[in-house]
Amino acid sequence: MEIRPHERKSHFRFKQFTVAHDRSTMKVGTDAVLLGAWSNVENATSFLDIGTGCGVIALMLAQRTASSAYIHAVEPDHESSLQAAENFENSPWPERLFIRHTSIQTFNPSLKYDVIVSNPPFFNKSLHPPDKRRGYARHTSSLSFSELIQAVDRLLTSDGRLNIILPSNEGLEFMSLAEASAMFCTRQWKVKGKDHKPWERWLMEFRRNPDTTDYGEIVISGNDGHWSDDYIRMTKEFYWIL
Protein backbone atom coordinates (compact mmCIF):
# COMPACT_ATOMS: atom_id res chain seq x y z
CA MET A 1 0.00 0.00 0.00
CA GLU A 2 1.28 3.45 -0.87
CA ILE A 3 0.66 7.11 -0.06
CA ARG A 4 -1.94 8.57 -2.42
CA PRO A 5 -0.63 9.61 -5.84
CA HIS A 6 -0.97 13.37 -5.39
CA GLU A 7 1.30 13.08 -2.34
CA ARG A 8 4.17 11.40 -4.18
CA LYS A 9 6.69 14.23 -4.44
CA SER A 10 10.45 14.53 -4.18
CA HIS A 11 9.81 15.83 -0.66
CA PHE A 12 7.06 14.71 1.69
CA ARG A 13 6.24 17.20 4.42
CA PHE A 14 5.05 16.01 7.81
CA LYS A 15 4.08 18.26 10.73
CA GLN A 16 7.49 18.20 12.41
CA PHE A 17 9.88 17.07 9.67
CA THR A 18 10.31 16.75 5.92
CA VAL A 19 11.45 13.64 4.08
CA ALA A 20 13.22 13.80 0.72
CA HIS A 21 12.79 10.44 -1.02
CA ASP A 22 13.50 10.95 -4.71
CA ARG A 23 16.85 9.08 -4.54
CA SER A 24 15.73 6.36 -2.16
CA THR A 25 14.64 2.85 -3.12
CA MET A 26 12.03 3.02 -0.34
CA LYS A 27 9.71 6.02 -0.68
CA VAL A 28 7.33 7.38 1.93
CA GLY A 29 4.41 4.96 1.85
CA THR A 30 1.40 3.98 3.91
CA ASP A 31 3.08 0.79 5.17
CA ALA A 32 5.98 2.76 6.62
CA VAL A 33 3.73 5.43 8.15
CA LEU A 34 1.52 2.75 9.73
CA LEU A 35 4.51 0.95 11.23
CA GLY A 36 6.08 4.15 12.52
CA ALA A 37 2.85 5.23 14.20
CA TRP A 38 1.80 1.77 15.49
CA SER A 39 5.04 0.47 17.00
CA ASN A 40 5.07 0.40 20.79
CA VAL A 41 7.78 2.80 22.06
CA GLU A 42 6.85 2.58 25.76
CA ASN A 43 9.78 2.28 28.22
CA ALA A 44 12.31 2.06 25.37
CA THR A 45 15.38 4.22 24.85
CA SER A 46 17.28 2.36 22.11
CA PHE A 47 15.80 1.76 18.65
CA LEU A 48 17.00 0.15 15.43
CA ASP A 49 15.36 0.62 12.01
CA ILE A 50 16.39 -2.17 9.64
CA GLY A 51 16.32 -1.11 5.99
CA THR A 52 15.46 2.50 6.72
CA GLY A 53 15.24 3.65 3.08
CA CYS A 54 14.60 7.38 3.18
CA GLY A 55 14.44 7.26 6.99
CA VAL A 56 10.76 8.02 7.53
CA ILE A 57 10.16 5.35 10.21
CA ALA A 58 13.26 6.38 12.16
CA LEU A 59 12.12 10.01 12.02
CA MET A 60 8.66 9.08 13.27
CA LEU A 61 10.22 7.19 16.17
CA ALA A 62 12.36 10.22 17.01
CA GLN A 63 9.24 12.40 17.11
CA ARG A 64 7.44 9.93 19.38
CA THR A 65 10.21 9.42 21.93
CA ALA A 66 11.93 11.38 24.67
CA SER A 67 15.16 13.31 24.18
CA SER A 68 17.06 10.53 25.95
CA ALA A 69 16.11 7.98 23.28
CA TYR A 70 18.35 7.33 20.29
CA ILE A 71 17.52 5.74 16.96
CA HIS A 72 20.02 3.83 14.84
CA ALA A 73 19.25 2.90 11.24
CA VAL A 74 20.92 0.60 8.72
CA GLU A 75 20.51 0.78 4.95
CA PRO A 76 22.45 -1.30 2.37
CA ASP A 77 21.65 0.93 -0.63
CA HIS A 78 24.22 3.72 -0.94
CA GLU A 79 22.01 6.48 -2.36
CA SER A 80 19.20 5.67 0.08
CA SER A 81 21.59 5.84 3.03
CA LEU A 82 22.92 9.22 1.87
CA GLN A 83 19.40 10.60 1.54
CA ALA A 84 18.37 9.23 4.95
CA ALA A 85 21.46 10.87 6.47
CA GLU A 86 20.43 14.20 4.92
CA ASN A 87 16.87 13.80 6.22
CA PHE A 88 18.19 13.06 9.71
CA GLU A 89 20.52 16.06 9.65
CA ASN A 90 17.70 18.37 8.51
CA SER A 91 15.26 17.11 11.16
CA PRO A 92 14.69 18.54 14.66
CA TRP A 93 16.57 15.51 16.15
CA PRO A 94 19.94 15.17 14.34
CA GLU A 95 21.72 14.36 17.59
CA ARG A 96 19.50 11.31 18.20
CA LEU A 97 19.46 9.76 14.71
CA PHE A 98 22.35 7.73 13.31
CA ILE A 99 22.66 5.84 10.02
CA ARG A 100 25.06 3.13 8.88
CA HIS A 101 25.45 2.24 5.21
CA THR A 102 25.60 -1.53 5.65
CA SER A 103 23.48 -4.65 5.56
CA ILE A 104 21.95 -5.93 8.77
CA GLN A 105 23.79 -9.21 8.19
CA THR A 106 27.14 -7.44 8.72
CA PHE A 107 26.00 -4.81 11.23
CA ASN A 108 27.82 -5.47 14.51
CA PRO A 109 27.19 -2.74 17.10
CA SER A 110 28.45 -2.84 20.67
CA LEU A 111 24.95 -2.60 22.12
CA LYS A 112 21.52 -4.18 21.87
CA TYR A 113 18.18 -2.51 21.23
CA ASP A 114 14.92 -2.25 23.15
CA VAL A 115 12.87 -1.93 19.96
CA ILE A 116 13.67 -3.04 16.42
CA VAL A 117 11.42 -2.00 13.53
CA SER A 118 11.50 -3.13 9.92
CA ASN A 119 9.41 -2.76 6.79
CA PRO A 120 11.27 -5.72 5.29
CA PRO A 121 11.62 -7.19 1.79
CA PHE A 122 8.86 -9.72 1.17
CA PHE A 123 8.81 -10.67 -2.53
CA ASN A 124 10.30 -14.16 -2.69
CA LYS A 125 8.74 -15.89 -5.69
CA SER A 126 8.43 -13.07 -8.22
CA LEU A 127 10.86 -11.77 -10.82
CA HIS A 128 12.89 -8.69 -9.99
CA PRO A 129 11.43 -5.50 -11.50
CA PRO A 130 13.38 -3.51 -14.13
CA ASP A 131 14.50 -1.03 -11.44
CA LYS A 132 17.29 -3.15 -9.96
CA ARG A 133 17.78 -1.01 -6.84
CA ARG A 134 14.05 -1.07 -6.08
CA GLY A 135 13.91 -4.81 -6.72
CA TYR A 136 16.84 -5.47 -4.43
CA ALA A 137 15.19 -3.48 -1.65
CA ARG A 138 11.87 -5.36 -1.89
CA HIS A 139 13.03 -8.92 -2.68
CA THR A 140 14.02 -11.41 0.01
CA SER A 141 17.20 -12.23 -1.91
CA SER A 142 18.60 -9.13 -0.18
CA LEU A 143 17.32 -10.11 3.27
CA SER A 144 15.51 -13.38 3.86
CA PHE A 145 13.07 -13.80 6.74
CA SER A 146 15.49 -16.25 8.38
CA GLU A 147 18.33 -13.73 8.13
CA LEU A 148 16.13 -11.00 9.60
CA ILE A 149 15.12 -13.22 12.53
CA GLN A 150 18.76 -14.17 13.15
CA ALA A 151 19.74 -10.50 13.19
CA VAL A 152 16.92 -9.63 15.58
CA ASP A 153 17.91 -12.48 17.90
CA ARG A 154 21.46 -11.10 17.93
CA LEU A 155 20.58 -7.43 18.38
CA LEU A 156 17.44 -7.35 20.57
CA THR A 157 17.54 -7.00 24.35
CA SER A 158 16.15 -9.92 26.36
CA ASP A 159 12.78 -8.21 26.84
CA GLY A 160 12.87 -6.18 23.61
CA ARG A 161 10.29 -5.96 20.83
CA LEU A 162 10.40 -6.45 17.05
CA ASN A 163 7.76 -4.57 15.04
CA ILE A 164 7.19 -5.35 11.35
CA ILE A 165 4.57 -5.03 8.63
CA LEU A 166 4.03 -7.75 6.02
CA PRO A 167 1.39 -8.99 3.57
CA SER A 168 -0.91 -11.58 5.13
CA ASN A 169 0.58 -14.75 3.57
CA GLU A 170 4.14 -13.63 4.20
CA GLY A 171 3.13 -12.72 7.75
CA LEU A 172 2.10 -16.32 8.39
CA GLU A 173 5.42 -17.56 7.05
CA PHE A 174 7.37 -15.08 9.17
CA MET A 175 5.39 -15.98 12.29
CA SER A 176 6.17 -19.68 11.84
CA LEU A 177 9.89 -19.01 11.40
CA ALA A 178 9.95 -16.63 14.37
CA GLU A 179 8.27 -19.15 16.67
CA ALA A 180 10.86 -21.76 15.68
CA SER A 181 13.45 -19.28 16.96
CA ALA A 182 11.51 -18.64 20.20
CA MET A 183 10.14 -15.26 19.06
CA PHE A 184 6.39 -14.98 19.61
CA CYS A 185 3.77 -12.64 18.17
CA THR A 186 2.28 -10.59 21.02
CA ARG A 187 0.47 -7.95 18.90
CA GLN A 188 -1.24 -8.61 15.58
CA TRP A 189 -3.34 -6.06 13.71
CA LYS A 190 -4.97 -6.65 10.34
CA VAL A 191 -4.86 -3.82 7.78
CA LYS A 192 -6.82 -3.15 4.60
CA GLY A 193 -7.07 -0.16 2.30
CA LYS A 194 -10.86 0.08 1.99
CA ASP A 195 -13.94 -1.43 3.62
CA HIS A 196 -14.82 -3.63 0.63
CA LYS A 197 -11.30 -5.02 0.13
CA PRO A 198 -9.76 -8.09 1.77
CA TRP A 199 -7.25 -7.80 4.60
CA GLU A 200 -3.92 -7.01 2.96
CA ARG A 201 -1.31 -6.49 5.67
CA TRP A 202 -0.41 -7.49 9.20
CA LEU A 203 1.23 -5.22 11.72
CA MET A 204 3.03 -7.57 14.10
CA GLU A 205 5.05 -7.30 17.29
CA PHE A 206 7.31 -10.14 18.43
CA ARG A 207 8.89 -10.80 21.81
CA ARG A 208 10.89 -13.64 23.29
CA ASN A 209 8.34 -14.30 26.02
CA PRO A 210 4.90 -15.43 24.84
CA ASP A 211 2.07 -13.36 26.20
CA THR A 212 -1.57 -12.69 25.47
CA THR A 213 -1.77 -11.42 21.91
CA ASP A 214 -3.35 -8.03 21.28
CA TYR A 215 -5.52 -8.45 18.20
CA GLY A 216 -6.75 -5.42 16.30
CA GLU A 217 -7.65 -4.16 12.86
CA ILE A 218 -7.54 -0.93 10.93
CA VAL A 219 -9.15 0.17 7.67
CA ILE A 220 -7.31 3.01 5.93
CA SER A 221 -10.31 4.61 4.23
CA GLY A 222 -14.00 4.08 3.60
CA ASN A 223 -15.51 3.34 0.23
CA ASP A 224 -16.04 7.09 -0.16
CA GLY A 225 -12.25 7.56 -0.26
CA HIS A 226 -12.04 9.49 3.01
CA TRP A 227 -9.61 8.33 5.64
CA SER A 228 -11.18 6.37 8.47
CA ASP A 229 -11.43 7.72 12.01
CA ASP A 230 -9.07 5.00 13.21
CA TYR A 231 -6.41 5.91 10.65
CA ILE A 232 -6.77 9.60 11.48
CA ARG A 233 -6.33 8.89 15.18
CA MET A 234 -3.22 6.82 14.49
CA THR A 235 -1.50 9.33 12.19
CA LYS A 236 -2.84 12.75 13.23
CA GLU A 237 0.43 13.75 14.92
CA PHE A 238 2.25 13.41 11.59
CA TYR A 239 0.08 14.43 8.63
CA TRP A 240 -0.51 18.14 8.03
CA ILE A 241 -3.90 17.47 6.46
CA LEU A 242 -5.23 15.89 9.64
- Each of the 242 residues of the chain gets a pLDDT tens digit; together they read 444 433 557 889 999 999 999 889 888 999 999 999 999 999 999 999 999 999 999 999 999 999 999 999 999 999 999 999 999 999 999 999 999 999 999 999 999 999 999 999 864 555 555 555 455 445 445 789 999 999 999 999 999 999 999 999 999 999 999 999 999 999 999 999 998 899 999 999 999 988 778 999 999 998 888 899 999 999 999 997 64
Domain ranges of the chain: 12-235
Cβ neighbours around 40 below 10 Å, total? 13
Given 3.40.50.1000, 3.40.50.1970, 3.40.50.150, 1.10.10.60, which CATH number is that of 12-235?
3.40.50.150
pTM of the model: 0.89
- What is the 3-class SS of the chain, one letter each residue? CCCCHHHCCCEEECCCCEEECCCCCCCCCHHHHHHHHHCCCCCCCEEEEECCCCCHHHHHHHHHCCCCCEEEEECCCHHHHHHHHHHHHCCCCHHHEEEECCCCCCCCCCCCEEEEEECCCCECCCCCCCCHHHHHHHECCCCCHHHHHHHHHHHEEEEEEEEEEEEHHHHHHHHHHHHHCCCEEEEEEEEEEECCCCCCEEEEEEECCCCCCEEEEEEEECCCCCECHHHHHHHCCCCCCC
Contact 19, 55 (CB under 8 A): yes
Report how far residue 166's alpha carbon sits from residue 205's, in angstroms, rounded to the nearest whole number.
11
For CA atoms 32, 33, 39, 44, the dihedral sign is positive
